[in-house]
Structure 1
Amino acid sequence: MSTTVRGMSRASRRDPEGRMALRDHLRELRGRLVKSAIAIVIGSIVGWFLSAQFYAALMKPILDSAKVNGVPTSINYADPFSAFNQRLYVSAVLGFLLASPVWLYQFWAFITPGLTRKEKRYSFGFVGAALPLFLAGATLAWFVLPKALEFLNSFVPEGGSQFISSNLYFSFVIRVTLAFGIAFVIPVVLVALNMAHLLSGRTMLKQWRITVFICFLFAAVATPTPEITSMLALALSMCALFALAIALCLLMDRRRARNHIEPDYESIPDDEASSL
């Protein structure tokens, strides 16, 4: 009998209501973090063998733009360890990307017991919308980057050449790609806030001028050059996504008003979690 009890204790099973003690939550979190870390390490090992091809693809925009402007360009390493460290960095980034199905699943498996069936359905929708939008933003950055680099290379005086640090160039490409990807995901966050009854579509519509200004300001900061094409590509794409998000929020607000669906947070007891 005692063995059975100890076995159940070690298993840290949840009760039918999905509740767990804090110690069990921390134990589960530790296990999922360890699994995610192992997956990232394995992905990084695989990424080590793919890093040469990946880095060659990253260097293609700067080398192609240099050919267009006739500017001799080379990627340089500051010390004997730079090339090795750069390859480790590239391998780690690839490992993080390759292991994303594992660590995303571990994150989802950790939070999903605390969600209702409706919240799980919504979260699937958010993830299903956010991932393609992030990839679309990263793809747009990949097409904009050569134009931006070509613009920068045009300022090299005739007879000059470029000696670019590999670390700075790689960080530059990653920063621009992440900025474009995150910018495309922000409208999904606005829809989520609307569904949580924290931000109405009418409020967003009233602030459309500020939204457009912020889109252009973000595009001006995120794009690395004063060249207008890349800034307009990002700013107009963001404005279109924000307009779509506002339209969806207005439709959901109208449906809730028609069905008289409005949460009453004041009626929730102090010891009970709200729908937020």
Structure 2
Amino acid sequence: MSRFRCTSPLPENPDEVRMSFGDHLEELRTCVLRALIGIVVGTAVCIYFGSEILEFLTRPYAAAMLRRGYTPELINLDPTETFRQYFRTAIIFGIGLSAPYALYQLWKFVAAGLYPRERRWVRYFAPASFGLFALGVLFLVKIVLPGVLVFLILTNEWVPNPTLDLGPHYTTSRPDAEPIRLPIVREPPSHPADGDAWISESDGAINWVIGGKTLRVRGAELDNERLVRPQYSFQMYLSFVNGMCLAFGLGFQIPIFVVVLVLLRIVTTQRIARFRRMVVVAIVVAAAVLTPSGDMMGQMLLAVPMYLLFELGLLVGRYVERGRAKPAPP
């Protein structure tokens, strides 16, 4: 009989490993400590790259605001809001980054009591699960979030501007004055002088130099003066995005769920396919529960890939059933 340690390779036969209750607690403490160290390291890495992470999360919002003709900005309602959200986001992503290593340490403690055949499925499912979660987050940020944000910002324009007739509020000093024409440039001048002015081709911003500093006013902001304007707080936006990331990461786990049901012989793929309509309804309900935005567009953008992944899970489940039906070699 041997004694298992978290730093040791997994035994081929778990029956050969015998440990007292105190030894089990000691090994569990070691595995948990190693997992926590991994989380601390992952969080430290994400704190270092916190600016890049926030830029990755806020880029869809900035693009959506510019697309609808608004100046992209997020406001703070608390002096410590940016500080708190920076570290909160870094911790969330740090846990996600270190989750494979941390869970592997805990898995080694559990796997010592499992046979090699039982461990094999976890080796398949764990990388697939993490990959699907990351794919769900990437799908959200790159494809879903830009469209959802444009739609949500567009709803502000459903409220019309009031028609007000307050009479003339300005006088024309020179009716014969010619309009000022500013050059439209792709790149700003390398050494602008005081009084220089131009329009940026990329975003339509008006630029002028005063006291050696370049001041900018986006033309889009002047073109879209609405009664209801989108002004979101930094905390609300990040909470919304983090909730959506969790929803899409969990929603993309559906093929794992289907294959596990087939492996455990709880249900067959033929029976699942027979109730496909009920599965579609369940997916739509799950998408509605998971998405924090509550809008129909975001729910459908989650439900559609969930259904496609459900069909993928059925294909993998059929492959597992065919492999199980093959006669064992003599």
Q: TM-score, normalised by structure 1?
A: 0.80
| 1:20-52 deviation line (CA, Å, top 9, x unaligned) | 333222221122212222222233223222111
| 2:225 matches 1:226 | no
Q: Does the aligned pair in 1 maintain the 2:262–2:268 contact within 8 Å?
A: yes
- Which residue matches 2:218? none
> Who is 1:205 aligned against?
273
Computed over aligned residues only, the root mean square deviation of the Cα atoms, in angstroms, reads 2.8
Q: Is the 8 A contact 1:32 1:106 kept in 2?
A: yes
Tell me if structure 2 keeps the 8 A contact 1:71–1:160: no
Which residue in the other structure is 1:21 paired with?
20
How far off its partner does 1:201 sit? 2.1
Distance 1:35-1:134 versus aligned 2 partners, 3 A rule? same
Alignment of 1:1-276 (within 5 A): 17-142=16-141, 143-157=143-157, 158-223=226-291, 224=293, 226=295, 228=297, 230-253=298-321, 255-256=323-324, 259=327
The verdict on how the C-alpha distance between 1:206 and 1:19 changes in structure 2, with shifts beyond 3 A counting, is farther
SS class of match (2:231):
strand
In structure 2, how many angstroms separate the alpha carbons of the residues matched to 1:256 and 1:242?
Answer: 21
Q: 1:193 & 1:199 partners in 2: Cα distance? A: 6
Unaligned runs of 5+ in 2: 158-225
User: How far did residue 215 of structure 1 move?
Assistant: 1.6
Give me the whole-angstrom Cα distance separating, in 1, the residues matched to 2:76 and 2:324. Answer: 59
Residue type of the partner of 1:50? F
Cα distance in structure 2, aligned partners of 1:101 and 1:249: 25
Count matched residues.
252
Structure 2: which amino acid aligns with 1:185?
Answer: Q
Task: Tell which deviates more after alignment, 14-23 or 58-67.
Answer: 14-23
Contact 1:191–1:245, Cα closer than 8 Å, also in 2: yes
Say which one has the larger Rg: 2
CA distance in 1, matches of 2:109, 2:90: 27
Q: CA deviation at 1:227?
A: 5.2
The secondary structure found in structure 1 opposite 2:156 is: coil
Change (3 A) 1:41 1:244: closer
Deviation at 1:95, TM superposition (A): 2.2
Kept in 1: contact 2:45–2:94 (CA 8 A):
yes
Q: Compute the displacement of 1:247 (Å).
A: 3.4
Structure 2: which amino acid aligns with 1:173?
V
Identity %, equivalent residues = 29
Specify the code of the residue in structure 2 equivalent to 1:226. Answer: D
Tell me the equivalent position of 2:197. Answer: none
3-state DSSP of counterpart to 2:33:
helix
Give the deviation of 1:68 after TM superposition. 0.8
Gaps of 5+ in 1: 1-7, 261-276
8 Å contact 1:72–1:161 — kept in the other structure? no
From the superposition, tell whether residues 253 and 48 of structure 1 become closer, same or farther in structure 2 (CA, over 3 Å).
Answer: closer
